[in-house]
Amino acid sequence: MQEISLEEVENWYLDQLKIRFKREHKVLSKFFSLSEKELGQARNSIKTWKDRDFQSEETKLDDKTQKILERFVDSVVENLDEIRIPSIHIKDISYENSQKYCDSIKKLYSVYNSQGRKAIPRFGKQFKIEIKEVDLHLRKIGDLTQKIGKFLRKNYQDGKIAENEIKNIPQLTHNIERLGSIKGKIDGMDEELNDMKNNLTIHENDLLKLSEDADLQLFEKIEQEETVKSNNLRDYLKFKKAFKKLKKSLEKGTINARGITDNDIRPYIKDPVKTILNEGPKLNRLRDILIKTRLILEDEKDPLKLKKDLRNKIIVNINQIVSENKLEPLINENLEIKIRKEEIRGILKNKGIEQKRTDLKNKISTLTLDVEHFSKDLKHRKREYKELLSKISSDRDDLQKKIEEQIGEEVKIKIIIPN
């Protein structure tokens, strides 16, 4: 088994192909040597056109024609200079390099013919011999190029396939470099995530120590009670569903609710508990709106289009609030606990605990979200690394297999995977 590093495998493989296709390369090399000779002669011949010494004034070109000739010559020479001949200008003979050479000859013919069609008639009489000489070289170049093309099609298809097997080496190298970059980012992100988690733990421990204060424990207990009582009050407000329907109807203009506007009911929909507690136990404003809403609900035309059972439950709820003052004790309980809460808050504020607690809670909340988002990003990066590593391994195995099929020798390509 032959062990070769990825960096060396391309040159090593091409050397093996040179041995395998030695006869084909020899034939192509002969064609290219003959082509070089003809191209050089064509170049030297056409260059002399610019320096032609005319025998008489009658045959001498005028200034305009001379400039046309010079532009034509420069354009053709420029294309001749751009032609790269395998084994001459390019070290290795390959299907791709040979095909590029053939394409450059086609381009030369295109330039010579398209520009010559316009330019040569202007000075053709004075350059008959020179034009025939260049045309002769170009015909020979064309014949050789056809032979090269035919040889490539008939005798070098195996060489083309063999050479193409290493086309993916640059991509494999790029993926390995990319894998190293991803690994570096993962290492940095792991370290950053650990720092974030450590900071979060520190803040949580600070909050835990702070919570040992008796007044703060009482405050947190009151907060829990407040949440329960607030939810109890919110659950009792069955009329909200009617208000939502009424609001939509008012916006569409499909109902005429006397004495009720969109602005009247919006606060009770957006934050009913806060609005009711701010209004107080008597609920004069809410009572007025509920009474008018009840009239709409009792309308036989059913303008709000509510289900019968739901409409009846809402009417009962409105009666309990308007006629039986069922909300008053719930409101009083919520107001009383808010007063107790503010009293304890004042004590905590004087002790400097309230602000510390708020700051710590904000930091913990922010850090918790940051850790969650950062963890997802890190997980994505690690998945990306794993998938790319699998692709590199698969591509390396495919490359080894293709090389073995071409040269008949078992090969192991060594690659360095970033740890």
In three-state form (DSSP H/G/I as H, E/B as E, the rest C), the secondary structure along 331-390 is HHHHHHHHHHHHHHHHHHHHHCHHHHHHHHHHHHHHHHHHHHHHHHHHHHHHHHHHHHHH
Angle, vertex CA 68, rays to CA 67 and CA 69, nearest 5? 90
- Residues 264, 406 within the same domain: yes
Question: Are both 145 and 180 inside the same structural domain?
Answer: no
Choosing from 155, 177, 194, the residue where a domain stops is 155
Does residue 189 fall inside a structural domain? yes
Closest of 78, 77, 75, 85 to residue 144, by C-alpha? 85
Looking at the structure, tell me whether residues 301 and 266 fall in a common domain.
Answer: yes
Work out the average pLDDT over 138-159: 95
Are residues 284 and 419 located together in one domain of the fold? yes
Neighbours of 130 (CB within 10 A): 16
Q: What proportion of the chain, given as a percentage, has pLDDT over 70?
A: 98
Contact, 320 vs 286, CB < 8 A?
no
pLDDT band at residue 172 under the 50/70/90 scheme = very high
* Residue at 371 is within a domain: yes
Question: Is residue 15 included in any domain, yes or no?
Answer: no
Better-predicted residue by pLDDT, 182 or 304 = 182
Structural domain includes residue 64: yes
Q: Which residue has the higher pLDDT, 122 or 419?
A: 122
Take residue 217 and report the two structure tokens written for it.
Answer: 């424990």
Residue 5 lies in a domain: no
Which residues touch 213 (CB under 8 Å, ≥6 apart)?
A: 348, 351, 353
pLDDT, tens only, 84-143: 999 888 778 999 999 999 999 999 999 999 999 999 998 888 888 999 999 999 999 999
Residue 331 lies in a domain: yes
382, 193 in Cβ contact below 8 A? no
Whether residues 365 and 308 fall in one domain: yes
Could you report the per-residue pLDDT of 243-278, keeping only the tens digit for each?
898 888 888 877 877 888 888 889 999 999 999 999
Q: For the chain, how many structural domains are there in total?
A: 2
Q: For residues 188 and 59, state if they share a domain.
A: no
Tell me: do 293 and 407 sit in the same domain: yes
Residue 384 domain-assigned?
A: yes
Residue 290: helix, strand or coil by DSSP? helix
Same-domain pairing of 271 and 382:
yes
Residue where a domain stops, chosen among 108, 133, 155: 155
Please count the helices (runs of H) and the strands (runs of E) in the chain: 15, 2
Task: Say yes or no: 348 and 324 in one domain.
Answer: yes
Looking at the structure, tell me whether residues 346 and 236 fall in a common domain.
Answer: yes
- CB–CB of 382/186 below 8 Å? yes
Number of other CB atoms surrounding residue 358 within 10 Å: 11
DSSP string, 31-93: HHHHHHHHHHHHHHHHHGGGG---SSTTTSPPHHHHHHHHHHHHHHHHHHHH---BTTTBSS-
Q: Of the candidates 125, 155, 185, which is a domain's last residue?
A: 155
pTM, rounded to two decimals:
0.63
Tokens of 47: 């260059």
Tell me: do 68 and 133 sit in the same domain: yes
63 is in which domain, residue-wise? 22-155
Whether 6 is covered by a domain: the verdict is: no
Q: In residues, how long is the chain?
A: 419
Residues 307 and 396 in one domain: yes
